[in-house]
Structure 1
Amino acid sequence: MTELRAHAVEWMRERIAVAVSEFTAATALVVLFTALCFASPHFLTADNLFNIGSQTAVIAVIAVAQTIVIITKGIDLSVGSVAALSGVMGAIVVRDLGFSVWTAALVAIAVGTLAGLANGALVAFARLPPFIATLGMMSVGRGLVFIVTGAVGVYSLPKSFQLIGNGVIGGIPFAVVVTAIVALAAGYLLSESRFGQHVYAMGSNLEAARRAGVPVRRNLIAVYALAGSLVGLGGMIAASRVSSGQPNYGIGLELDVIAAAVIGGASLFGGQGRIAGTLIGAFLIALVRNGSVLLGINIHYQQVIVGLIIWAAVYFDQYRRRRLETRV
């Protein structure tokens, strides 16, 4: 009975923590959106809102991948490099091999999945800390994209290549539709499937999950492979937006997606996070980037702002945990 009560208390504590994080992030989002409406006459224009939607889509898709990894108490620092490599490979198969944009998307997803499998194998079998495993992949991925392109962007792509990043369905950016599908699928996977239960269990207590019969190694590989596939998709959306494969794309992207996940309630201590919160965080980061451009804020200051947001989000995560431990 005491053990059941302890589990119930822990479950309630996590639910409250997630709800508080999501409410705080949503409030900040509304405040920032309102402030930008007054601060810039260009903010509410159709072109700018379309741009925000497409920009949010890239951050959101990759932030969903990061969230799944963070829930397992891991981290993926290779998302920027893998996204760049995936987008470049998608662009190359269209320009040089004449494949369709849909085939290019599959190639980009496959490249991301392979990188994710490598990350997962390093974490699960080589027992490298996720930080080290993905830091190495960050360097490998960036090196490969420079080798493949000769450090030159992939241009001269057909107009059809822009469909995924700039296309519209019923007035809604196609990238936003893709993001909604990804978010719904990932949310269902985490909340309704046995795999999702295992992901949360591993993040809460890896050793306890292993003793309970959870196939930890297999699940870790699946988590990083799934994350990699989403990063590949995000890289393809980003390449499609600018109709080119850019070897320098994604430098610093890991900061944006980690910030989006943490702002939305994912805990860097593992076992906690929801896709809905991540979407709120992604939209908030996209608004910060977009608003900074509209207001003429230097890009270097934007990096400072994102860094401060990460500090604040992690501090708040620690603070709420301490408060809940004393109250619940």
Structure 2
Amino acid sequence: MDKLIWREPIATTRITGRQPVGEEPQAQAKAKAPRRVITLGDIAGRESGGLVVLLVAVGALTLASDEFLTGNNLSNLARQVAIFGIIAVGQLLVILTAGIDLSVGSVLGLSGASTAQFLVAGVPIWPALLLGVGIGTALGIANGLLVTQAKLPPFIATLGMLGIARGIVLVTTDAQTVQGLPESFQTIANGTILGIPNLLIIAALVTVVMWFVLTRTVFGRYIYAVGSNPESARLAGVPVRLVMISVYAISGLLAGLGGVLLTSRLGAGIPTAGTGFELNAIAACVIGGASLFGAKGSALGAATGALIMGVLNNGGNLLAINAFYLQIAIGVLILVAVGFDQLNTRRSAASG
């Protein structure tokens, strides 16, 4: 399937494609119905800018530093980027519905520290891991309910959850690092398979699964439809509330997974872990081609944005560049990406 087609509804037409009884002939209905077409070529076009920036950054760092392409540095880079990539892909689903999740950093910290506490208390590794991810998922569902049932703006709902989750983890750990985790648990994030870091493999699997969901499933079409026009999607039979709750749940699940993996990588549960990660996740999505107005973006683009940020930070460390300059560079990239998105939107509106 090479393109995803979203048509505005006609009277009682549903997304099943069945023709309503007593309505205009099918040919006339199609002629009058405005439609929004999201093709794989459009998605690739939005990603191309990020890929160009990534290639330029990699080429420049390869010439500037002999250590950049070494196996040890690439392995470290993969581990650093993997967790950001996982969170960014979850954030992307929310952004596609024209929402935002500011709680992912705090959810990551709570899930990771809770997993460490479970392990220290004697809970086996896999149950502790599932409990940690489950905490993230539960908080994501809570975000979705606040947005859909309590009718709170996503910014306010998730900002509140940011404070709640961070407060809970500081209270439950007494703001102390949780140590003494099993070596076998630390191997999950620090081990390799055929020389490839486990974290990179997990991040790649998450990205591929989300790419498949967004481009090859009805649920993926629903996400883009809700982000494009939630009222039209509702009239066409899309379960808008369920879709909204689901994307926040997935964002929380992936934040929880990121927290578990970060705890495994560090070998300790750190209550302040994940501080600022929500901004990095949003930045990765925007740099990767996602639109904060919804319905535009892809999982590959979000992963590419996370990789760009990781490469810039890694290169800055290798070249001993002041970290504050790197923050300026990432800020400029965000502004440029949003500016191009606005320009493309205006051009599309003018041509339409």
TM-score where L is the length of structure 1: 0.93
Larger radius of gyration: 2
**Residue 297 of structure 1, CA deviation:** 2.7
Q: 2:246 aligns with which of 222, 226, 245?
A: 222
2: CA distance, partners of 1:275 / 1:235: 20
The answer as to 2:273 corresponding to 1:249 is: yes
Superposed, which structure 2 residues align to 1:1-328 within 5 Å?
A: 4=30, 10-11=36-37, 17-100=42-125, 102-327=126-351
**Residue 38 of structure 1, CA deviation:** 1.8
**Residue 3 of structure 1, CA deviation:** 7.0
Task: Report if aligned partners of 2:140, 2:252 keep a CA contact under 8 Å in 1.
Answer: yes
How many pairs align? 326
Q: Deviations over 1:252-289 (max 9, x none)?
A: 11121111111222111111111111121111111112
Give the direction of change, closer, same or farther, for the CA distance of 1:2–1:316 in structure 2 (3 Å limit): farther
**Residue 156 of structure 1, CA deviation:** 2.0
Task: Report if aligned partners of 2:284, 2:305 keep a CA contact under 8 Å in 1.
Answer: yes
| Amino acid of the structure 2 residue aligned with 1:261 | C
1:11 alignment partner, SS class: strand
2: CA distance, partners of 1:255 / 1:117: 20
Give the match for residue 22 of structure 2: none
RMSD: 1.9
2: CA distance, partners of 1:59 / 1:6: 44
Task: Report if aligned partners of 1:116, 1:226 keep a CA contact under 8 Å in 2.
Answer: yes
1:230 alignment partner, SS class: helix
**Residue 103 of structure 1, CA deviation:** 2.7
1:258 alignment partner, SS class: helix
Task: Report if aligned partners of 2:114, 2:132 keep a CA contact under 8 Å in 1.
Answer: yes
Q: What are the ranges of 5 or more consecutive residues in structure 2 without an aligned counterpart?
A: 1-26
Give the direction of change, closer, same or farther, for the CA distance of 1:171–1:17 in structure 2 (3 Å limit): same
Divergent runs of 4+, >6 A: 5-9
Task: Report if aligned partners of 2:189, 2:265 keep a CA contact under 8 Å in 1.
Answer: yes
Q: Deviations over 1:145-198 (max 9, x none)?
A: 111111111122222222222110111111111112211211111122221111
Task: Report if aligned partners of 2:190, 2:264 keep a CA contact under 8 Å in 1.
Answer: yes
Q: Deviations over 1:110-152 (max 9, x none)?
A: 0110110110000010010111100001111111111111111
1: CA distance, partners of 2:43 / 2:348: 12
2: CA distance, partners of 1:173 / 1:222: 30
Determine what percentage of the aligned residue pairs are the same residue: 45
| Amino acid of the structure 1 residue aligned with 2:244 | L
Task: Report if aligned partners of 1:161, 1:240 keep a CA contact under 8 Å in 2.
Answer: yes
TM-score where L is the length of structure 2: 0.87
| Amino acid of the structure 1 residue aligned with 2:329 | I
Larger helix share, 1 or 2: 1
Give the direction of change, closer, same or farther, for the CA distance of 1:3–1:301 in structure 2 (3 Å limit): farther
| Amino acid of the structure 1 residue aligned with 2:198 | F
**Residue 9 of structure 1, CA deviation:** 6.9
Q: Deviations over 1:17-48 (max 9, x none)?
A: 53332111101101101111122222122111
